[in-house]
Structure 1
Amino acid sequence: MSAASDGHVAIVIVSHSSLVAQGAADMVRQMVGDEVAVAHVGGDPGGGLGTDVAAIRAAIEAVWRPAGVAVLVDLGGAETNSEMAIEMLDAEKGARVVICNAPIVEGAVMAATEAAGGADLEAVRATAEEFQS
């Protein structure tokens, strides 16, 4: 992630499955390159299906940029835990993190593509959410 620009919005992918999260992140990196910081997190602490607030927070912190972080989630529990993770951040950082209401794969790819072009956080969110069903 060292090549990722601090000026670009970063992406975090949160899934109940670690393999789904990793696969979506791999797809983003293959399509966008390393210009955008991407982190992924999935599964519960025991290795099963689920999400973990502390792991989500750590993923956000790992890629946080002043431009912001767009978080894509797969199911309601991932969204709820992502919201809790954002609330645990320093208020200034948390204000620059959004959860996108978008499909995890298509939304992540489109969000990262928009971010790579230098779009701001709201434009990245809007682009991801165009794929909302």
Structure 2
Amino acid sequence: MVGIVVISHSRALAEGVVEVARAMGVGKAVVEPAGGDLEGGLGTSVDLVEGAVATADDGDGVLLLADLGSSVLTAKMVIEDAGGESLLLADAPLVEGAVAAASMAATGADLAAVHAAAESAYDHRKTR
């Protein structure tokens, strides 16, 4: 199953998004948080992201979702360091993208489909 890692500057935010995404993934989706820095403060950590990726990866790939700024840069560094196609960063809203990705991953979909589901979250407008 495709794993999902939520990267945020805030540990609490990453854990909250993961809580919601896991619920929407009906307990099947593997969704891991990577929030804050190594000391528990605000920031991002390559080590935390790599650890979350290792936990989420069962061989079918891992989708990364990041909140902003250095979280995105950290995700890109982890992908570059991995040197493979088994990690993708979604250009998606954090909460909505994580929920869409977890829902799709729970069906057993491949990495491309989970990635597409996350990015399609932009299409689900809250007003109109």
Superposition TM-score, scaled by structure 2 size: 0.89
Partners in 1 of 2:110 and 2:101 — Cα distance?
10
Partners in 1 of 2:22 and 2:102 — Cα distance?
9
In the alignment of these two chains, the number of paired residues is 123
* Code of the aligned partner of 2:63: A
Q: CA deviation at 1:33?
A: 2.7
Structure 1 residues not aligned, in runs of 5+: 1-7
Cα shift readout 1:75-126 (whole Å, capped 9, x = no counterpart): 021011111122333x4xx321100000111000000101111211111111
Query: Which residue of 2 is the match for residue 14 of structure 1?
Result: 7
Partners in 2 of 1:126 and 1:71 — Cα distance?
12
Runs of 4+ in 1 over 4 A off after TM superposition: none
Query: Which residue of 1 is the match for residue 126 of structure 2?
Result: none
Query: Which residue of 2 is the match for residue 76 of structure 1?
Result: 69
Partners in 2 of 1:29 and 1:115 — Cα distance?
10
Query: Which residue of 2 is the match for residue 66 of structure 1?
Result: 59
- Please give the secondary structure, in 1, of the residue aligned with 2:34: strand
- Among 38, 45, 48, the residue aligned to 1:45: 38
Root-mean-square deviation over aligned CA pairs: 1.4
- Among 29, 46, 49, the residue aligned to 1:36: 29
Superposition TM-score, scaled by structure 1 size: 0.86
Query: Which residue of 2 is the match for residue 4 of structure 1?
Result: none
